[in-house]
Amino acid sequence: MNINFLRISGGDVKSNLINLKQLVFEVTDICNLYCKYCGYGEFYDGYDPRGKEALSIKKASNILNYLTGLWEDNIHSPICQPFTLGFYGGEPLIGINFIREVIHYTESLHITRKKLHYNMTTNGILLDKYMDYLVDKEFRLLISLDGNEKDHSYRVDHQGKNSHKKIMYNLRLLQRKYPDYFRRFVRFNTVLHDRNSVKSAYHYIWTQFGKKTKISSLNNSGIRKDKVQEFYEMFQNKDDSIEKTSNRKELETELFLEAPNISRLSSFLYRYSGNIFDSQRSLLYDKNKIETVPTGTCTPFSKKMFVSVNGKILPCERVNHEFAMGQVLEDEVKMDFEHIADMYNDYVFRFQKQCTSCACIRTCGQCVFQIDEIHGPNPRCHGYAGLKAFQNYVNENLDYLGKNPTLYKKIMHTVRIES
C-alpha cells in the first residue's frame, strides 16, 4: 500500500491552538465520592498522585491569557468560532469558587473571536447547592448515573454509602425547578460493570427522565498489573451485555447509536459508503492521495486542551500524565511547539511499519497514548487489521445492514445530515 505519511510541525500545533475548540480545567483532585472504578482510582497507573490539590486561579488566568493572545494576534483565525470552557475533577463543584472566578475572568477578556459555552462532568452530589448558577450560565451538564440503586452501588461516598438517593433527589429538583434547562442541557453517562447492564441502566434513566444515556465500558488501558484480575471481574463488555437480553433487536432499536452494532455500521457507512463528505472541499480531492499521520491519534490540541490540577498541559483527560505537552506555572506558560510536534511524531511513527500494512489505515481510531506497551521494543497497535480481518469487518457490516435495511436511511439522515 502506497501511503504518504506526514510528520506534523510546530506550525500545525500552533494552528490547532488558534482553532482550539475546548479548554478543560481539572478544578480539583478532591472528590466527595469514592468510586471503585474511577479513572484516578486503585485500578489505574499513569496519573499524578492525588493529594487534595486545587488548580489556582493564577494558573487558569495564565493559560487563558496565553490562548487569547494567540487568537487575537492571528488575523486569519475564525470570528465567533464556538469555544467551550469545561470543568472536570475530582468533583468540580467542590471548587465552585474557582469556577465562578474563572468564568468571570474569561468573560472580562471580551474575546472577540470565540463564542463561549460552558460544560461540566459532575456526579451530581452538590447540584442542589449550585444549580441556580449553572442554569444562569447555561452549563451543559454530563451527569454520572449508573442506573437504579443496585446498578449505581459502586458510586459510594467515603463512608461507603450509596450516593443514588442523593443524586436522584438533586436531579428531580433540577428537573422540577428548571424543566426547559433540564431538557436542553442535561445529559447522562453510565459506566457499565458487573452490577448493572445496558438494558437496566438505559431503561431506568429513560423511564425516570425521558433521556437516553451514553453507556461506556470501563477503560482497560493503564491497569495496574496487580489489579488485572480484580478489574476484569468487574468489567462487562457492552456487546455481551446486550447479547444476554431476550429482546436484543428491540433493545438495539431503542439504543440506536449506543448499540455497538449500529455504531459500527454508522462508522462503516461514513468511511466506506462513498456518499458522505465532510465539506464541499472534500468533493474536489482524492482522499487516498492525502498525506496522513500513522495511527488514529489526534494531533495535539485538534480537539481540546486539558490542564491538570498540577498545571500539566495534555491533549485530553484520557492521556496519561507522563505525556504532558507543556506546563502552566504561576508566572508563565511553558509550551514549545516544535518539541510537542517532535514528541508526537516520535510516538506515532513507532507504528509506521504496522500502519503501512494495515487495511484500516484510512479509518484508524487508535490513540497511541492508550497503548500500554508504547515504551516497549515492539509495541503493537490494538487496531491493526490485516486484509482478512478487514474483509471480515466489511462482511459483518454488510450482513448486518442486509438484515436491517431501514438503518441505512436512518443513519444517513438522522446522524449524518440532520446532525
As a whole number of angstroms, the distance between CA 98 and CA 60 comes to 9
What's the whole-model pTM score? 0.92
Position 418 scores a pLDDT of 45
Q: What is the mean pLDDT of each run of 10 residues along the chain (419 residues)?
A: 81 95 97 93 86 94 96 74 95 98 96 91 98 98 98 97 98 98 98 97 97 94 93 95 91 92 90 70 61 88 97 95 96 97 96 89 86 90 89 94 93 66
Strand partners, 186: 141
Q: Residue 378: its pLDDT value, please?
A: 87
Look up residue 154 and give its three cell numbers. Answer: 459502586
Domain ranges of the chain: 10-260+296-357
Rounded Cα distance between 11 and 341, Å, is 9
pLDDT value of position 81? 86
pLDDT of residue 401: 95
| pLDDT score at 111 | 86
β-pairing, 22-26 with 213-217?
unpaired
Q: Provide the residue type at 198 as one letter.
A: V
**Alpha helix ranges (H) inside 19-95:** 57-73
At the topology level, CATH places domain 10-260+296-357 in: TIM Barrel (3.20.20)
pLDDT at position 361, please?
80
**Number of other CB atoms surrounding residue 365 within 10 Å:** 12
Predicted confidence at residue 292, as pLDDT, reads 78
**DSSP assignments along 311-335, one per residue:** -BEESSTTS-GGG---EE-SS-EE-
Segment 149-176, tens digit of pLDDT = 999 999 999 999 999 999 999 999 999 9
pLDDT for 2? 59
